[in-house]
Amino acid sequence: MHVSKEPSFRESVDLMFNRAVALMDLPPGLEEKIRVCNATYTVRFGVRLRGQIHTFTGYRSVHSEHMEPVKGGIRYAMGVNQDEVEALAALMTYKCALVEAPFGGSKGGLRIDPREWEEHELELITRRFAYELIKRDLINPAQNVPAPDMGTGEREMAWIADQYKRMNTTDINYRACVTGKPINAGGIQGRVEATGRGVQYALQEFFRHPRILRRRPCRARSRVSGSSCRGLAMWAITRPSS
């Protein structure tokens, strides 16, 4: 029996891209130039923890630098790999282009289970990862600006911003090297629930469509799946007021 091979995450993104560009009249070669990632940096570094040296593998992929800085989160998960960060970096480029946000797309990740490490150990690991990226301008307010993602949050962004400041003492814009920082470290109100609020606005517009209104959506039920920032924000925003 023939079993079809499921496409990888990166291949799935390319399939969607191909469907879109098939409807466009692009000059020869431009389609391929847009599709491929400009660069993906892989770093392996050691940190002495618990009496021995542990080696970690991290990635930072830059999909497109047609506008700078490039933008995209850093995730901590055991499943992080080159295929995943390149796919996510490409999606960042496309999302920014669709809403005309003036950024290129990037994405990063560290192959680690953050639940296995104490807070002070995570700080040492994060600062060392940041050091490797900063010295190659893969974290820079004018060139490459990370953000929180799966497994990371305000705490990790604060550590990265402080590490950047230590390495670039004369850069008055050091806080702009990452987004998603704590409020007391230069962050902004509303950032945590921003993605969930975006889903809320999309749903509002969806249910305004005449074909949907004819189906009496006021009687419909909804389910929020997931407990990430997006899922929790969606629950908080859409739950009935008491």
Cis peptide before 69 (omega within 30 of 0): yes
Is 107 catalytic? The answer is yes
| Angle (nearest 5°) at CA 228 between 106 and 224 | 120
| Angle (nearest 5°) at CA 114 between 113 and 120 | 140
Question: What are the structure tokens assigned to 76, written together?
Answer: 């901590």
Q: Which amino acid is at 131?
A: Y
Chain position carrying tokens 């809320």: 200
Choosing from 71, 107, 135, 181, which is the catalytic residue? Answer: 107
Q: By C-alpha distance, which of 164, 45, 62 is closest to 107?
A: 62
Question: What are the structure tokens assigned to 234, written together?
Answer: 């969606």
Question: Rounded CA gap, 101 and 117, in Å?
Answer: 36
Q: Which amino acid is at 83?
A: D
Q: What share of the chain is helix, strand, coil (3-state, %, to 5)?
A: 45, 15, 40
Residue 83: exposure state from Cβ atoms within 10 A (0-12, 13-18, ≥19): middle
- Structural contact between residues 34 and 64, judged by C-beta atoms closer than 8 angstroms: yes
Active site amino acids: 107
